[in-house]
Structure 1
């Protein structure tokens, strides 16, 4: 047997391992190598910038497919793959995880957490998942039913699993975990349905919870026994009444955005909207309601609060601050500043001092009518008084809509060009308060009349549009834009090869020159692309990877692919490189959709009642006005409208194994009949007046 190394030699080996990062990559922005992509944003600063240059502006037109995998799903795909030591790890819809040989595409293992399909009724926006974390030979994933699971990176076998949420409440996890200093950081979602948000840190080795930071207060005067107790006591003073805590709601869920600065040792958390949306129903129409729509900085070791900045005091437009945050050092006014940048839903691009939380600048990157500007002296928006629909008792057409000027698809920052690339969009939505609101155990709990239209009011944005926006964060102005065919487009990658890469809702993967936006290459992937691409190299060869599969809040963008009928929503993992020759199978032919609704038998009053119930319980999956979101059945065409199978499905859970839960807890047979009569009526309307294929201003919630 070989001699055992001496103690001194063992120390040298340990030190060498730490230098190369193979002992865990704990909380550092240093990559194992430029060819790996080890975090969802590649680095802790979440810039989504790669230094790889083999593929560049001079040769991007030679890109071709080298391998792909059919995920055999028909859901939204939103994850960014990770690559570590030649292995590609990716999560898919239903929180499943797969590992591949990154060079050849050979499957290595697959893990299915077996999320109960009935959990879908607790999800605001499809069974999506935005990615995994990798650390020290383990892969971490959050599941739609609230578990955090550690997997063996070589085998895919579970190492530990912890339930991070109350299974009785409508919590979900769709975001990617982050591993920082030996802790797995994870938040949750569910504000639309009625929950109280928080972020947790868990030991990477055991899953033991180390700290929890609540983002909105519970019952005043009753501490949670968590690190956030002092902040919650202070935050409670910015809330009014008792509706939020009696409903066990409040919102503020941190479902996606995190970033970390190892030098300052600060973890940045982006928080979500109020629950319910209406401030009148949530907080008697008063107060800033901390920490809704805020960026909160804490110490990752303990969760101890350091600073916060609230973007939307007293939010009631679903203007979350959960959108992608980027850390960078920018020269502003002749001084290099450590900044945090965010383009949240509300339409303003924010640059903050990330050490102190002080606002440096904020300007509109898309049209916004809810506020005139952000006052740099106070950091607060100068609001349009008419925007407060719930307090005024009058509807308000807001832009951005609840989908935002920028939603969850990540933006990217290129230090070479100095530009931030934003998947931007322009939409309007009519906000109407619901004075009769009562919280329901199932469905949306927003205290607004979702999907409402008023022909007497004109939306600020007549027709929705989307584009890739190149934004100069120092000068706070547009550098260039690349128009897209629809709203709801994918996240962004940028590289040192002067490239910007983005997928579109209509199914194209596009490569542009980062400096001026000139399109260099494009390929149709047969399915809408929402996930952000990434790039990596193995044995000196650079690859470009992306998930395709449309769904979630942007499922309606999938319909733009299907102008001549309906194609199946395909879910792919696709990997490209220079001179790739692999071809996808021929795209399935679009299937004509034939409307054959049964006769109208219900009264207009029954249909009106059905419309309200449909908007609350059905629209999140099946689309407002029953215009399908793309990967769920269009109920106007349902053959069950003329049979008792309608009641079997809606009230008895006849399709629960497919994710269609029973609604018997909130609907009786009469209410189910009202919904059916509403759908029959609009099916006849659709048959009499076919829809235009142009993109209209969206009324969809996020």
Structure 2
């Protein structure tokens, strides 16, 4: 672990410090509380929690930047980051300092006016842990309480830092580190308890949420989301009831249900709401062969934050089998219904394509409808249960089900926002499709995706017509959604999927970055673009806003990455080919800073050695590439700009170098571990032969396309 405290940063005038201490007394001191978090959300000057307030609306009450003035918004400072992986965090602003996490779970503190680096912290995550992260080595942010910051590290540690100095106060291991658990989500703190979940359902773990004492790091309670082994696990009543909805021996495969992202809290009801993830493996026929709802997978669950006591649940996808998580952003709001009544509502647009409005006191379904194209269900019944179409499940060997949405969902982790004045939810939505195929004779492995699918048979072929069709079935959009009428009000179409999270403001603006490298502001009334900025890289994180010395700032973390860019292969270029340029960008009215020239995309040519392997060897390599490599190196070996494209690798022509890297882990310090545990030397070389064959096919496709142009 390393800590750098940067002294000599710009001095702040005493009169400015006095004003700040008057406006944010708790923040300026050392005792941030829940009341301070709520007060900050009301004033907008500070951004003290991941979603601004406990209700996670992400709606700033600041209005200096508005429809009339936004044309004058300019970059005021930026900070280059020391990692070229995906950036997903929302910065916090507390007493004139911005706190942000970056890839590999690092933390940085900047002067919010000048951008001077005040301190930085590196938890020293073993880069070999990257093989256990389904969706890039990202981190979504810190939480603040008292005089501390809290962050979850990729290796499962929950770490407390001194907010002023960045020094480590305590560190608690929250997972069994012998298992493929990870942490990428931002913690929340309620009543002095730091709440953090984990990821790993693609690899074979049992999900849970943990609460830890903010002062000591000691675990206070743990809430498991799937039952343990009957007769062995000492499960409480809510899990014993859930076990009735499972069959087989799911505990041997982990079960899944990881709580890897969304949380919200209602102080008046004293209810904590968590989103629960997919099954492990995805394919239900392996983990629960006789079916069943498999509680509490793909559910929103309400708990008592002091004790972890179960209160109620609402399941969005019973018997989940498509990676349709309910870990997507949860928003709490009081909605005026069509009859004039006011409902205490909870809103979510999970992966399955339906938008849900439910009663946050009871979990009762209020209304819902699909917000993107779907073909696995025909609608929702009166209780909000999806009405599955016949044959939606992929249970037969060799049969492919082209399903919308695919595992990326109609909406992924990217935060939504809610404008209470217009009573609209803004969704970073996308249309995606995926060919699910039952994995014949599948069995779990100690490394690699354990999802129960034939991940190789469905990879996109080297065929222009197939690529064109795949492009047509994938798109991205910013949706303004009416959660009462359950209908789209307006939309902004993007070039491709995987666009950034959302900020709503009282200036009647909606801010979003996109996969094409543009950061923009839109009218909340009708979606008209009011302003944009070329960010030089794709943006997936959500913006935030704060006020300092009478000026409103808007900040966003830029840096292309995450699940789609590293795993979607050819389709990941739908929004255009952009590099990763990881930066913190900060804007204000009249800002005059400029970015350095954009880096050139100088990809190596696809120039592989001749393909001379037998069809059997190539088929073996393809199967193993799908199982172990595609999650990072792209569908059908078509890599993006975040992780190296293996088709262009000089190691293709050198068997021994390839084996040293892929078998022996020569580059494990960079996150590329060895796979000798699951593949023999010949099997690893077969992967090389598959990539060579694929590179030759793709070069021909590229040459033909160039000739046609």
TM bin (shorter chain): over 0.9
Q: CA deviation at 1:222?
A: 2.3
Q: Are the aligned partners of 2:152 and 2:186 in contact in 1 as well (CA < 8 Å)?
A: yes
What are the Cα deviations for residues 418-444 of structure 1, in whole angstroms up to 9, with x where unaligned? 110000111111110113111100000
Aligned with residue 336 of structure 1, among 332, 342, 352:
342
What are the Cα deviations for residues 586-644 of structure 1, in whole angstroms up to 9, with x where unaligned? 01122143122112121111111111110110011100111113200100111101101
Matches of residues 64-103 of structure 1 in structure 2 within 5 Å? 64-103=74-113
Aligned partner of 1:650 in structure 2 is 662
Q: Are 2:685 and 1:680 aligned? A: no
Aligned partner of 1:698 in structure 2 is none
Residue aligned with 1:657, SS: helix
Aligned partner of 1:583 in structure 2 is 594
What are the Cα deviations for residues 41-94 of structure 1, in whole angstroms up to 9, with x where unaligned? 000000000000110010111111111100021100000000011111000000
Aligned partner of 1:669 in structure 2 is 681
Aligned partner of 2:451 in structure 1 is 446
Residue aligned with 1:90, SS: strand
Residue aligned with 1:52, SS: coil
Q: CA deviation at 1:462?
A: 3.7
Structure-2 change in CA distance of 1:564 and 1:516 (3 Å): closer
Q: CA deviation at 1:130?
A: 0.5
What are the Cα deviations for residues 272-314 of structure 1, in whole angstroms up to 9, with x where unaligned? 0000011111111411100000000000000000000111011
1:258 and 1:688 map into 2 onto residues whose CA distance is 48
Matches of residues 253-402 of structure 1 in structure 2 within 5 Å? 253-332=258-337, 333-376=339-382, 378-390=383-395, 394-402=399-407
Aligned with residue 480 of structure 1, among 482, 490, 499:
490
Aligned with residue 38 of structure 1, among 25, 44, 48:
48
Aligned partner of 1:424 in structure 2 is 429
1:237 and 1:693 map into 2 onto residues whose CA distance is 55
Aligned partner of 1:7 in structure 2 is none
Aligned partner of 1:415 in structure 2 is 420
Matches of residues 550-629 of structure 1 in structure 2 within 5 Å? 550-555=560-565, 568-629=579-640
Q: CA deviation at 1:670?
A: 1.0
Q: Are the aligned partners of 1:528 and 1:558 in contact in 2 as well (CA < 8 Å)?
A: no
Q: Are 2:244 and 1:234 aligned? A: no
What are the Cα deviations for residues 76-126 of structure 1, in whole angstroms up to 9, with x where unaligned? 000000001111100000000000111111111000001000000111011
Q: CA deviation at 1:484?
A: 0.6
Structure-2 change in CA distance of 1:691 and 1:218 (3 Å): farther
Structure-2 change in CA distance of 1:531 and 1:628 (3 Å): same
So what's the TM-score if we normalise by structure 1? 0.92
Aligned partner of 2:439 in structure 1 is 434
Q: Are the aligned partners of 1:117 and 1:657 in contact in 2 as well (CA < 8 Å)?
A: yes
Q: Are the aligned partners of 2:496 and 2:574 in contact in 1 as well (CA < 8 Å)?
A: no
1:136 and 1:663 map into 2 onto residues whose CA distance is 44
Aligned partner of 2:173 in structure 1 is 163
Q: Are the aligned partners of 1:399 and 1:427 in contact in 2 as well (CA < 8 Å)?
A: yes
2:252 and 2:476 map into 1 onto residues whose CA distance is 40
Q: Are the aligned partners of 1:223 and 1:229 in contact in 2 as well (CA < 8 Å)?
A: no
2:577 and 2:681 map into 1 onto residues whose CA distance is 31
2:341 and 2:521 map into 1 onto residues whose CA distance is 33
Residue aligned with 2:119, SS: strand
Aligned partner of 2:671 in structure 1 is 659
Structure-2 change in CA distance of 1:527 and 1:94 (3 Å): same
Structure-2 change in CA distance of 1:180 and 1:430 (3 Å): same
What are the Cα deviations for residues 626-676 of structure 1, in whole angstroms up to 9, with x where unaligned? 111320010011110110100000011110111101111111111111111
Structure-2 change in CA distance of 1:382 and 1:153 (3 Å): same
2:243 and 2:572 map into 1 onto residues whose CA distance is 47
Q: CA deviation at 1:331?
A: 1.0
Residue aligned with 1:611, SS: helix
Structure-2 change in CA distance of 1:691 and 1:46 (3 Å): farther
Q: CA deviation at 1:566?
A: 7.2
Residue aligned with 2:391, SS: helix
Residue aligned with 2:621, SS: helix
Aligned with residue 555 of structure 2, among 529, 545, 553:
545
Q: Are the aligned partners of 1:442 and 1:617 in contact in 2 as well (CA < 8 Å)?
A: yes
Q: CA deviation at 1:395?
A: 2.0
Aligned with residue 251 of structure 2, among 241, 245, 251:
245
Structure-2 change in CA distance of 1:436 and 1:155 (3 Å): same
1:218 and 1:37 map into 2 onto residues whose CA distance is 39
Q: Are the aligned partners of 2:324 and 2:350 in contact in 1 as well (CA < 8 Å)?
A: yes
Structure-2 change in CA distance of 1:29 and 1:581 (3 Å): closer
Structure-2 change in CA distance of 1:215 and 1:562 (3 Å): closer
So what's the TM-score if we normalise by structure 2? 0.92
1:410 and 1:693 map into 2 onto residues whose CA distance is 37
Q: Are the aligned partners of 2:471 and 2:574 in contact in 1 as well (CA < 8 Å)?
A: no
Matches of residues 76-225 of structure 1 in structure 2 within 5 Å? 76-224=86-234
2:95 and 2:607 map into 1 onto residues whose CA distance is 55
Structure 1 stretch displaced more, 203-212 or 599-608: 599-608
Aligned partner of 2:645 in structure 1 is 634
1:461 and 1:591 map into 2 onto residues whose CA distance is 24
2:481 and 2:572 map into 1 onto residues whose CA distance is 28
Unaligned regions of 5+ residues in structure 2, if any? 1-20
Structure-2 change in CA distance of 1:392 and 1:351 (3 Å): farther
Structure-2 change in CA distance of 1:335 and 1:625 (3 Å): same
Unaligned regions of 5+ residues in structure 1, if any? 1-12, 695-702
What are the Cα deviations for residues 153-189 of structure 1, in whole angstroms up to 9, with x where unaligned? 0110000000000110000000000000100000000
